[in-house]
Amino acid sequence: MKNKYTHHNNELTLNNVGEAVLLKGWVAKKRNLGGLIFIDLRDHFGITQLVIRPEHPQYELISSLKSEYVIEVSGTVLERENKNNQIITGQIEVDVKNLVLLNESETPVISMQEESESLEETRLKYRYLDLRRPSVQKYLIKRHEITQSIRQTLLNNKFYELETPILAKSTPEGARDYLVPSRLYEGQFYALPQSPQIFKQLYMVAGFEKYFQVAKCFRDEDLRADRQPEFTQIDVEASFITQEDIMELTEEVFANLFKNVLNKKITLPLQKMDYKDALNLYGSDKPDTRFECLIEDLTSILNGYAIPLFEGKETIRAIRVKNDKSITRKKLDEYAALVKKHHGEALAFLRKENGQLSGSIAKFIEKEDFILEDELVLIVPGKTENVLPALGALRLKVASDLNMIDETKDNLLWVVNWPLLEYDSEEQRYYAMHHPFTAPQDAHILENNPKDSLAQAYDIVWNGYEVGGGSIRIHRQQVQNLMFKTLGFSQEEIKSKFGFFVEALKYGTPPHGGIALGLDRVVMLATKTNNIKDVVAFPKTQSAKDLMLEAPDFVEPIQLKELNIKVDSKNE
């Protein structure tokens, strides 16, 4: 191919000295040192230094080049006098013989330097420029490598990569659906899938046995630093398997990912933790086990004292930390606010220093043998369902403040033996803890004592983040009907929402199950960033806006008319 470059800008070394080369890329930096012009030429792969001498026939043109101009150069590789050991090509430079200006550039509105000080809002508005920076590109390159590693493991295990529809039916799965109005069927809507859950089960009904997909999913829910409205799942389903089979496959996926992409090793099998233990010890169903600071039950101890704050409380739980000087009264007030934010009633504390007990309830304590010297005990009373998550959030905050977390660690574990259902006391009905197609461990318990029913479900947790969840599915129609009945669906609702699926279960559905891995979170954790937007090519903001596309946006009236939609506006 004519004018094809001979090398990328990370390839030339001393072994290439004397060779004629053709390079292309962006002007990353230009320096004029007493007549000699030096240009750092950047492409996706790296940097090559160019040198242009004062007698060069194109010297005037080259002097006018600015940052981010796109150029093509031909020249000869020379050994550099002043070498740069920070880059691969730092021992050579290219003596430019000819330069072609391929395109000019206005001054970029964001810095192209590795450590940009541009505001995140500006970076997202001009994301195509932000993505030019190698420090940003590395996240998406790592995402590619991780995706290919996972794909290859599944292909090696004889899984088929199959697609599922994007325009689907709205079904009650927890979060709000994104709805798509139909032009052909007035007043009717498609829904974007929250997950390919029903479709992948139908693949099992159809007899494919092993399916996976890199699937786009959509949920209209409030966002967090680790959540986007559209996200990517590695979706997996298989027939004639057990919970242990799926967990073993998933562990193989992560072991290969760590080995081939991260150059690390994880020990298998992964730890398995009961859901109840996760809540009672860590205050979370996604426990961060990189540090101790476990939750303790002090109910029996502290109920022995007449402490007004604790009177009539269902439980009194606490965490113990070193009595660090940085935990001032102001910091304790901050912790109290955090506890209340997570539905805890109050925060009490005790310190022991030089044999002396102090704190908000110290005057009520007669015997202090339950607290050690140089220890701070943070205590939350109330209902168990409120106390545990409040202490779980407090545990993470304190650990962060006291640098208790080893950020170099990667702890993965399974949370198992989940409740099948959760009860909403306000609505006086059960909801599926995962989704309504999760198989119970014992159908008789589901029928006779649903609140005690456990699920054949499992979540994989990485450093306190849920990165995947799955279950064995219900494959018998009578059990699925029992589940729907327990969830309070009428026959009409079952037929309306899930009729096609219930119908499919009549035709010899095999036992099956699967898991979905959150690719965005996996990449976020693998690259050690705490912002999921870093690993998504064109992310939304925390308020679900695309600043680059300026979406969502109003549409033309004719489009609404075609859809038979009228928008009520408060401004009319």
131 marked as binding residue: no
Strand pairing report for 160-161 and 179-181: unpaired
Tell me if 244 sits within 8 A of 456, measured CB to CB.
no
Give how far Cα 270 sits from Cα of 352, 415, 513, Å.
38, 10, 20
Ramachandran angles phi, psi of 42, nearest 5°: -115, 135
3-state helix, strand, coil in the chain (%, to 5): 30, 25, 45
133 marked as binding residue: no
Q: What is the number of alpha carbons within 13 Å of residue 276 lying toward its C-beta?
A: 6
Tell me if 78 sits within 8 A of 51, measured CB to CB.
yes
Omega of the bond leading into 552 within 30 degrees of 0 (cis):
yes
Here the tokens at position 501 are 């699926």
Give burial (CB, 10 Å; 0-12/13-18/19+) of 330. Answer: exposed
Using N-to-C axis directions, what is the helix angle for 491-504 and 197-205, rounded to 10°?
Answer: 50
Give burial (CB, 10 Å; 0-12/13-18/19+) of 512. Answer: buried
Strand pairing report for 70-79 and 20-33: antiparallel
Longest dimension (CA), the chain: 93
434 marked as binding residue: yes
34 marked as binding residue: no
Omega of the bond leading into 269 within 30 degrees of 0 (cis):
yes
Ramachandran angles phi, psi of 92, nearest 5°: -130, 170
317 marked as binding residue: no
- Can you give the length of the chain in residues? 572
Tell me if 476 sits within 8 A of 510, measured CB to CB.
no
Here the tokens at position 434 are 């995962």
β-partners of residue 551 are: 546
329 marked as binding residue: no
224 marked as binding residue: no
Ramachandran angles phi, psi of 427, nearest 5°: -85, -10
d(CA 382, CA 302): 13
Q: What is the number of alpha carbons within 13 Å of residue 403 lying toward its C-beta?
A: 2
Considering only CA atoms, which of 202, 196, 201 is closest in space to residue 216? 196
518 marked as binding residue: yes
d(CA 475, CA 524): 35
Considering only CA atoms, which of 3, 95, 118 is closest in space to residue 48? 95
Ramachandran angles phi, psi of 414, nearest 5°: -105, 140
477 marked as binding residue: no
d(CA 362, CA 127): 55
Give how far Cα 311 sits from Cα of 46, 303, 353, Å.
66, 8, 27
468 marked as binding residue: no
Residue 375 contacts by C-beta under 8 Å, 6 or more apart in sequence? 320, 321, 322, 323, 351, 352
Tell me if 488 sits within 8 A of 205, measured CB to CB.
no
d(CA 272, CA 259): 22
Residues marked as binding for L-aspartate?
Answer: 173, 219, 434, 473
Residues marked as binding?
Answer: 173, 219-221, 228, 434, 466, 473, 518-521
Residues marked as binding for ATP?
Answer: 219-221, 228, 466, 518-521
